[in-house]
Amino acid sequence: MNTNTVNSKKAIAQLTIVRIIVYIILAILTILCLFSFYMLIINSTRSNGELQGGFTLIPSTHFIQNLVNAWNDSSINIPRGMLNSFLIAALSAICATYFSALTAYGIHAYNFRGKKFAYWFILAIMVIPSQVAASGFVQICYKFGLTNNYLMLILPGIASPVVFFYMKQYMEAVLPMEIVEAARVDGSNEFFTFNRVILPMLKPALAVQLIFTFVASWNNYFLPSLLLTKSELKTVPIMIAQLRSADYSKFDMGKVYMFILLAILPVVIVYLILNRNIIKGVTSGSVKG
């Protein structure tokens, strides 16, 4: 009896120590993740003079002023950039999500010759880096005058293997064929069934993929930077890179921080609201081991 209580006390003490260490590690990682963003927010509230003056963790009072300055900057038209980015990101998210769901449904619900091939083909192309196509794609766009055309950034999303794969897995989990058959008996044609019966059933998956594809497009830098040459058509990441290549020492640093903040803010807001769903969505689309 006695040794038992001693042992169990020892075990509890051990567990407590382990727990404390774990929380310390978590605290360090949390600081590591958040510190740079905290600095960003603090610095976006400080004037250029304050920023040159020294380091502080306490916010200042120049947030609005920096915002107005950044918003009205003549060389970097950030409101226009955000509007452009939003337009491209929203449309490509809708395109990618809708057509991936449609493709996944085509393979999930129907039996046709070549179905297996189509499935494996899509899985195989998932790992080909998009940059491999870039050279030819950019060349075609220049040749046919399709640079500065948003469609060239939106339409490729129709073929999104990763989104397809996620949708396919989701359908396997939630979509019984009986529903499709019931709709057939009820007199619905196949296209109508997909739009009115199937899509509403996929809402959670659609929402997750809309977020992911929107964020991916909003953050996308490589291809837009090669295709968008007109300044009024440029997206936010291109403007950020422009900021970097400008002689920034002449810049108002408060404004620079404000630009960065504006670039990431929409995604951060969405993330703060929907992080639970987003994190759930990360796992359900991945390959099961």
Partner 1 sequence: MKEKKEKRHVSYAKWGLIFIAPFFIAYIIFSLAPQIITIYNAFFENYRSGLTIVGPNFVGLRNFVSLFTPDANGTIDILKYTGNTLLMWVEGAIPQIVIALLLAIFFTSYRLKIKGQGFFKAVIYMPNMIMASAFSMLFFTLFSNVGPVNQVIQAMGWADATIDFFSMTVTVRGMIALMNFLMWFGNTTILLMAGIMGIDQSMFEAANIDGANSLQTFFRVTLPLLKPILVYTIITAMIGGLQMFDVPQVLTNGFGVPNRTTMTLVMYLNNFLSGKNYGMSGAVSVILFIVTGILSLITFRSLRTQSEEA
Partner 2 sequence: MARVILKDIKKIYPMSGDQKKKKAKGKKTEHKTGNLQITDKGVVAVQAFNLDIADKEFIVLVGPSGCGKSTTLRMIAGLEDISEGDLYIDDELMNGVAPKDRDIAMVFQNYALYPHMSVYDNMAFSLKLKHMDKKEIDVKVREAAEILGITEYLDRKPKALSGGQRQRVAIGRAIVRNPKVFLMDEPLSNLDAKLRNQMRAEILKLRQKINTTFIYVTHDQTEAMTLGDRIVIMKDGYIQQIGTPQQVFDHPANLFVAGFIGSPQMNMMDGRLIKKDGKYAVELPGTTVVLSEEKQARLAANDVAEQEVIVGVRPEHVILTDSGYRGTVEVSELMGSSMHVHLTDVHGKDMVVILNDKKDFDKFTTGAQIDLTFTPDVVHVFDRTTQKNLEW
Q: Is 112 in the site for partner 1 (CB under 8 A)?
A: yes
Q: Which of 205, 228, 243, 258 binds partner 1 (CB under 8 A)?
A: 243
Binding test (CB under 8 A) with partner 2, winner from 185, 230, 276, 289: 185
- In the bound state with partner 1, the residue whose beta carbon lies nearer, of 1 and 287, is 287
Q: Residue 288 binds which one of partner 2, partner 1, none, with CB within 5 to 8 A depending on kind?
A: partner 1
Which of 54, 129, 136, 187 touches partner 2 by CB under 8 A?
Answer: 187
Dump the DSSP string for 99-143: HHHHHHHHHHH---TTHHHHHHHHHHHTTS-THHHHHHHHHHHHH
* Cα–Cα separations (whole angstroms), residue 5 to 12, 15, 154, 208: 10, 15, 67, 50
Report what 236 binds from partner 1, partner 2, none; CB cut-off 5-8 Å by kind: partner 1
Taking the complex as a whole, the smallest distance from the CB of residue 14 to partner 1 amounts, in Å, to 10
Measured from the Cβ of residue 76, the count of other Cβ atoms closer than 10 Å reads: 21
Among 20, 26, 176, 279, binds partner 2 (CB under 8 A): 176
Binding flag, residue 278, partner 1 (CB under 8 A): yes
Task: Tell whether residue 221 is a contact of partner 1 (CB under 8 A).
Answer: yes
Instruction: Specify the residue, 174 or 279, whose C-beta has the smaller distance to partner 1.
Output: 279
Only one of the segments 58-66, 92-100, 199-207, 265-273 lies at the binding site for partner 2 (rule: CB under 8 A); that segment is 199-207
Q: Does 182 bind partner 2 (CB under 8 A)?
A: yes
Please report whether residue 173 would count as binding partner 2 according to CB under 8 A: no
Listed in sequence order, the residues at least 6 apart from 57 whose beta carbon sits closer than 8 Å to its beta carbon are 38, 42
Q: How far is CA 86 from the centre of its chain?
A: 12
- Contact set for partner 2, span 23-52 (CB under 8 A): none
Residue 118, interface with partner 2 (CB under 8 A)? no
Q: Is residue 230 part of the contact set for partner 1 (CB under 8 A)?
A: no
Calculate ∠ Cα 73-258-31, nearest 5°.
Answer: 165
For residues 168 and 254, give the distance between their C-alpha atoms in angstroms, rounded to a whole number: 47
- Give the position of tokens 């107005």: 68
DSSP 158: G
What is residue 65's DSSP assignment? H
Could you say whether residue 203 binds partner 2 (CB under 8 A)?
A: yes
Judged by CB under 8 A, the residue of 1, 2, 3, 54 near partner 1 is: 54
User: 3-class SS at 1?
Assistant: coil
Radius of gyration of the chain (CA): 25
